[in-house]
């Protein structure tokens, strides 16, 4: 596959796999014997979620949620909504929100509060990549693959105008448009 010359490799597939294996070991230790639901945030986290569930030693349920952001001209953050909601009853289950990349935390905080309202036994967050310096709201993140600087990343589920999700490695855009 031809990669745009403006993309610079950020993480190889091997490096991504190592991060996932390490996180899966920690999750397996923490969740063994529990009734667990992974909530994967679409669209970016679908590959990460698939790889993560292959590496854990327990058998979680998996569901997907898709959030929307409606920007208003006078509002920097916009309004967050749900385009595809959770279809599993979360009451008394241990919920793990699986996100590919975390930056401001606004959307994740919205989802976290939505899930807490469903009365689960617990709610935790796992993210492959954390732009901790971009956080504007407090979100409890327990499992982090790698803390990163503010790069625009594509590949491994992350897109550029709905393309590039299928790259096996992660790239950053060297010269943003």
**Active site residues per annotation:** 103
List alpha helices for 87-176, DSSP H: 106-116
SS3 content of the chain, % helix, strand, coil (to 5): 25, 40, 40
How far, in Å, CA of 17 to CA of 27, rounded?
15
Q: Which of helix, strand or coil describes residue 74?
A: coil
Sheet holding 7-11, edge to edge: 7-11, 170-173, 153-154
How far, in Å, CA of 119 to CA of 92, rounded?
6
């Amino acid at each position: 596959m031809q990669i745009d010359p403006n993309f610079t490799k950020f993480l190889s597939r091997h490096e991504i796999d190592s991060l996932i294996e390490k996180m899966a070991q920690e999750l397996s230790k923490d969740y063994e014997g529990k009734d667990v639901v992974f909530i994967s945030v679409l669209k970016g986290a679908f590959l990460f979620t698939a790889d993560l569930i292959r590496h854990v030693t327990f058998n979680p349920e998996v569901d997907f949620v898709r959030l929307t952001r409606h920007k208003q001209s006078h509002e920097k953050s916009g309004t967050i909504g749900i385009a595809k909601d959770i279809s599993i009853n979360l009451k008394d289950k241990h919920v793990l929100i699986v996100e590919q990349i975390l930056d401001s935390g606004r959307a994740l905080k919205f989802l976290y509060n939505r899930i807490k309202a469903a009365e689960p036994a617990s709610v935790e967050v796992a993210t492959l990549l954390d732009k901790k310096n971009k956080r504007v709201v407090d979100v409890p993140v327990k499992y982090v693959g790698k803390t990163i600087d503010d790069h625009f990343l594509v590949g491994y589920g992350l897109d550029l105008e709905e393309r590039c999700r299928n790259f096996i490695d992660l790239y950053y855009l060297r010269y943003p448009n």
